Structure 1
Amino acid sequence: MKILSFGSLNYDYTYEVEHFLAPKETLAAKSMQRGFGGKGANQSIAFARAGLSVYHAGRVGTDGQPFVDYLKQNGIHTDYLIKDDAAATGHAIIEVCRGENCILIYGGANQEITTEQIDHTLKAFSPGDWLVLQNEISNLPYLMQAAQKKGLSIFFNAAPYDVGILTYPMELVDVLCVNEVEACALAGTETFEADAVLTLLHEKYPQTRLLLTAGSAGSYYLDAERRLFVPCEKVQAVDTTAAGDTYSGYFLAGLCSGSSVEDAMRLATKAAGIAVQRKGAAASIPEIKELK
Structure 2
Amino acid sequence: MKILSFGSLNYDYTYEVEHFLAPKETLAAKSMQRGFGGKGANQSIAFARAGLSVYHAGRVGADGQPFVDYLKQNGIHTDYLIKDDAAATGHAIIEVCRGENCILIYGGANQEITTEQIDHTLKAFSPGDWLVLQNEISNLPYLMQAAQKKGISIFFNAAPYDVGILTYPMELVDVLCVNEVEACALAGTETFEADAVLTLLHEKYPQTRLLLTAGSAGSYYLDAERRLFVPCEKVRAVDTTAAGDTYSGYFLAGLCSGSSVEDAMRLATKAAGIAVQRKGAAASIPEIKELK
Task: Provide TM-score, normalisation by structure 2.
Answer: 1.00
Deviation at 1:26, TM superposition (A): 0.1
CA distance in 1, matches of 2:147, 2:126: 9
Q: Aligned with 1:278: secondary structure? A: coil
CA deviations on 1:264-286 (whole Å, 9 max, x unpaired) are 00000000000000000000000
CA offsets 1:122-161 (integer angstroms, 9 cap, x no match)? 0000001000000000000000000000000000000000
- How far apart are residue 259 of structure 1 and its match? 0.1
Residue 253 of structure 1 deviates from its aligned partner by 0.1
Q: Deviations over 1:172-231 (max 9, x none)?
A: 000000000000000000000000000000000000000000001100000000000000
Q: Deviations over 1:28-68 (max 9, x none)?
A: 00000000000000000000000000000000000000000
Which residue does the alignment assign to 1:22? 22
**Alpha-carbon offset, residue 83 of structure 1:** 0.5
State how far apart, in whole Å, the 2-side matches of 1:274 and 1:92 are. 22
Trace 1:165-244 onto structure 2 (pairs within 5 A): 165-244=165-244
Deviation of 1:85 after TM superposition, in Å, equals 1.2
| Partner SS, residue 5 of structure 2 | strand
Q: Distance in 2 between matches of 1:52 and 1:148?
A: 23
Superposed, 1:31-42 pairs within 5 Å as 31-42=31-42
TM-superposed CA distance for 1:233, in Å, is 1.4
C-alpha distance in structure 2 between counterparts of 1:275 and 1:159, whole Å: 18
Query: SS of the residue aligned with 1:77?
Result: coil
The structural deviation recorded for 1:113 is: 0.0
CA distance in 1, matches of 2:268, 2:131: 18
**Residue 12 in structure 1 maps to residue 34 in structure 2:** no
Secondary structure of the structure 2 residue equivalent to 1:93: strand
Shift of 1:8: 0.1
- Distance in 1 (CA, whole Å) between partners of 2:170 and 2:87 is 29
Distance 2:71 2:272 in 1: 20
Determine the C-alpha separation between the residues in 1 that align with 2:146 and 2:87: 25
Could you say what secondary structure the match of 1:127 adopts?
Answer: coil
Unpaired stretches in structure 2, ≥5 consecutive residues: none
Q: How many residues align?
A: 292
Find the aligned partners of 2:51 and 2:69 in 1 and give their Cα distance: 19
List structure 1 runs of 4+ shifted beyond 2 angstroms: none
Secondary structure of the 1:78 match is coil
SS at match of 2:80: strand
> Helix, strand or coil: the match of 1:250?
helix
Q: Matched residues in 2 for 1:142 and 1:275: separation?
A: 33
Q: Which residue of 2 aligns with 1:132?
A: 132
SS in 2 for 1:156: strand
Identical-residue share of aligned pairs (%): 99
- Segments of structure 1 that go 5 or more residues without pairing to the other structure are none
Measured in 2, the distance between the counterparts of 1:13 and 1:97 equals: 14
Measured in 1, the distance between the counterparts of 2:224 and 2:87 equals 44
**Shift in Å, 1:291:** 0.1
